Structure 1
Amino acid sequence: MKKILVRLRLTFIALMTLTTSSCSNAQNSEITPTVPTVATIPTNPATFAFSKGADVGWLPQMEATGYKFYDTDGSEKDCLQLLKDRGINTIRLRVWVNPSNDKASGHCSPAETVKMAVRAQKMGMRIMIDFHYSDSWADPGKQTKPAAWAKHSFLELLNDVYQHTFDVLYALKSAGVTPEWVQVGNEIPGGMLWPEGSTSNWTQLAQLLNRGYEATKAINPSIKVIIHVDEGNNNARFRTFFDNAKVNNVKYDVIGLSYYPYWIKSDYTKTIADLANNLNDMVSRYDKEVMVVEVGGDYTLVQNTRDMLVAVIDAIKKAPNNKGLGVIYWEPEGEKSWSGYQLNAWQSDGKPSSALDAFK
């Protein structure tokens, strides 16, 4: 954690003077940072009724390796502009505590996240921040604690989650960005910060999630907190998780879903009804807003991916009581020869796939 604070202070040394108090106990701990007054940079006044988004965590890394992006006429353009031209109005950014894995060393750090968020906001984009609470990828198969937290007690982990969340969001706020949404954890059907925060100990997981919620609301109560689970077509999976969240008094605003027919070896036509039914059930059962925060299709099946996106957007828009907030494509710019990722939405010539026209 100390490394993160040092990095943020170097970036915002004139603005950040934070103090931290210890957790008094596992169930009812309070952390009250001392926050100086910061002049807020005006944000883009444009508002969008429906969020059409892209997760672009790879973008700064691609640019650092010299990757170039082109429009259909062959002209070189900023990737964010290409996405905006196709209807994208929201940018999702993952943030790692102290990124150290081989391929992405130094990327998706708090400092880089701030820089990317400022860049996207200047283009009129809305911002979502996705906290992995790890030094690398966190997903259903792995929720590895950051190295700096590895030997911490549960009480210390509560403090870590709060302070890391607060510090990153405060750095964003200091730079003039207040995200519209914050994810506390990434694809966490089995919990996060294993083993302490696994779903085998819901009492502890609930406390960790609530510390992320509390830190977010301390920055700005209007930020919506998302809890994110994968397999958005799997209603039983979602009921199991969110029934437990309700029993354990987890605080959140939005249910986030991933939807990847490719990974379950099925065409979207076989599961889109299940996704729609699950969205409707989440709204009616828990009275929460819903959002597909990750979606993707095979880049070689352009029409199929475009049709899938149209169907997902339609399913979200039809969620009861106007509680469907939007759809976000995961790493559309991650062209296969650079990333090795099959579910991007980019062509080998550096141009966006027409599948993204579904967002127009």
Structure 2
Amino acid sequence: MMKRNAITLLLLLITGLNFGQKKETVFAKGADVGWLPQMEATGYKFYDTNGKEADCLQILKDLGMNSIRLRVWVNPSNDKTSGHCSKEETIVMALRAQKLGFRIMINFHYSDSWADPAKQFKPKDWEKHSFAELLNDVYNHTYDVINSLKQAGVTPEWVQVGNEIPGGMLWPDGSTDNWPQLGQLLNKGYDAVKAVDKNIKVIVHVDEGNNNEKFRIFFDNATAQKVKYDVIGLSYYPYWIKKDYTETIADLEFNLNDMAKRYGKEVMVVEVGGEDNQVQNTYELLTATIKAVKNVPNNKGIGVLYWEPQGARSWSHYALSAWQADGKPSPALNAFKEN
């Protein structure tokens, strides 16, 4: 009897230790697929590696991806490549991705179309608003989208407040020429996300992930303005700075490590891409990028997402997709499965 009691006690202790352990977070590997519903609506067909017609999201999942990123525009047009991505369309896509087991990231552009380092145009409906009204606009729009997603049954794991904002957003009011105002706008976005669910991680996103000076200037200013966020998001596109990844990957790795240490935040490459006609080079770029993020100490490197891998050049005229002319995924995407 005593022996049985001792065994029972031992089992309880082991069980208790297991319960006490922190659940390990799975590394995020995924894609931004904002063009997907438009591609399907215009009749584009996707084929798996065996040449069989299949759901694009299932193809991506079979390639080792576990996360999907979706952009949101305020009042978008119906333009094939520069429109769509409304709240309603985003909810439909998020539900579809979640049903396949994907984790969800929502990316707010705070514009009616593309926002990036070269342009951060206010939505038309907000153009004549005062700064005080803009603060409410950011809060209300962010809350509405994330709360609507939650009501529909999808709670995103991550939410980006702004898309590639080294120069700020909602110009001119939220420009980095006026950091106190930019800081307030970012915090309104953060507060709106956390009001829906405090466990959602908020990302602040800057381009040129290999440019440490650019990131230090931006996030030092963000710190001075007491900007609230959980994750530093980076873009990494050697193509746009006309350098091969072999010339910049060490700088990316240095910056990832520096950001995590300097600001105590998790880091994530939320956009990466290589040329569709340079398959081996893009495969190596992805392999090196995933390795660099995984190597950040203390598990602070949490993921890598390809920007529109399915956005085939024949449909989008975008050179950095990872899809072939025959409708099949590029072998470059095997990097997600193999790393």
TM-score with structure 2 length normalisation? 0.91
- Paired residue secondary structure (2:332): helix
On the 8 A contact 2:120/2:169 being kept in 1, the answer is: yes
Q: Report the structure, 1 or 2, having the larger helix content.
A: 2
Structure 1 portions without partners, runs of 5+: 1-45
1:145 maps to 122
Return the match for 2:218 from 241, 246, 251. 241
- In the TM superposition, what whole-angstrom CA distance separates every residue of 1:27-85 from its partner, at most 9, and x where no partner exists? xxxxxxxxxxxxxxxxxxx9851000100000000000000000122110000000000
- Measure, in 1, the Cα distance between the counterparts of 2:69 and 2:218: 23
Amino acid at match of 2:151: S
Q: State yes or no: 1:209 paired with 2:155.
A: no
Structure 2 portions without partners, runs of 5+: 1-22
Amino acid at match of 1:200: D
- In the TM superposition, what whole-angstrom CA distance separates every residue of 1:127-149 from its partner, at most 9, and x where no partner exists? 00000000000000000000000
- In the TM superposition, what whole-angstrom CA distance separates every residue of 1:74-103 from its partner, at most 9, and x where no partner exists? 110000000000001000000000002733
Q: Following TM superposition, by how much is the alpha carbon of 1:235 offset from its aligned partner in structure 2, in angstroms? A: 0.2
- Measure, in 1, the Cα distance between the counterparts of 2:263 and 2:51: 48
Amino acid at match of 1:71: D
Counterpart mapping for 1:316-327 below 5 A: 316-327=293-304
Amino acid at match of 1:237: K
- In the TM superposition, what whole-angstrom CA distance separates every residue of 1:219-260 from its partner, at most 9, and x where no partner exists? 000000000000000000000000000000000000000000
Higher mean C-alpha displacement, 68-77 vs 201-210: 68-77
Change (3 A) 1:319 1:105: closer
- In the TM superposition, what whole-angstrom CA distance separates every residue of 1:304-343 from its partner, at most 9, and x where no partner exists? 0001100000000011211000000000000111000000
- Paired residue secondary structure (1:355): helix
Counterpart mapping for 1:213-228 below 5 A: 213-228=190-205
- Paired residue secondary structure (1:200): helix
Q: State yes or no: 1:73 paired with 2:45.
A: no
Q: State yes or no: 1:292 paired with 2:269.
A: yes
- Measure, in 2, the Cα distance between the counterparts of 1:195 and 1:225: 23
1:116 maps to 93
Amino acid at match of 2:221: N
Amino acid at match of 1:212: G
Q: State yes or no: 1:83 paired with 2:60.
A: yes
- Paired residue secondary structure (1:201): helix
Amino acid at match of 2:72: V
On the 8 A contact 1:313/1:326 being kept in 2, the answer is: yes
- Measure, in 2, the Cα distance between the counterparts of 1:111 and 1:66: 21
1:278 maps to 255
- Measure, in 2, the Cα distance between the counterparts of 1:80 and 1:108: 17
1:157 maps to 134
Return the match for 1:254 from 214, 231, 254. 231
Q: State yes or no: 1:127 paired with 2:143.
A: no
2:113 maps to 136
TM-score with structure 1 length normalisation? 0.86
Amino acid at match of 1:170: N
- Paired residue secondary structure (2:135): helix
- Measure, in 2, the Cα distance between the counterparts of 1:117 and 1:103: 20
Instruction: Give the number of the structure whose alpha-carbon radius of gyration is greater.
Output: 2
- Measure, in 2, the Cα distance between the counterparts of 1:234 and 1:47: 30
- Paired residue secondary structure (1:139): coil
- Measure, in 2, the Cα distance between the counterparts of 1:192 and 1:106: 19
Moved over 4 A (4+): none
Identity %: 74
Amino acid at match of 1:278: N
Counterpart mapping for 1:185-200 below 5 A: 185-200=162-177
- In the TM superposition, what whole-angstrom CA distance separates every residue of 1:180-236 from its partner, at most 9, and x where no partner exists? 000000000000000000000000000000000000000000000000000000000
Q: State yes or no: 1:334 paired with 2:311.
A: yes
Q: Following TM superposition, by how much is the alpha carbon of 1:152 offset from its aligned partner in structure 2, in angstroms? A: 0.3
2:36 maps to 59
Change (3 A) 1:239 1:106: closer
On the 8 A contact 2:310/2:322 being kept in 1, the answer is: yes
Q: Following TM superposition, by how much is the alpha carbon of 1:106 offset from its aligned partner in structure 2, in angstroms? A: 5.4
- Paired residue secondary structure (1:271): helix
After superposition, the CA RMSD in angstroms is: 1.2
2:289 maps to 312
On the 8 A contact 2:83/2:113 being kept in 1, the answer is: no
2:71 maps to 94
- Measure, in 2, the Cα distance between the counterparts of 1:192 and 1:169: 20
- Paired residue secondary structure (1:252): coil
On the 8 A contact 2:82/2:113 being kept in 1, the answer is: no
Amino acid at match of 2:235: S
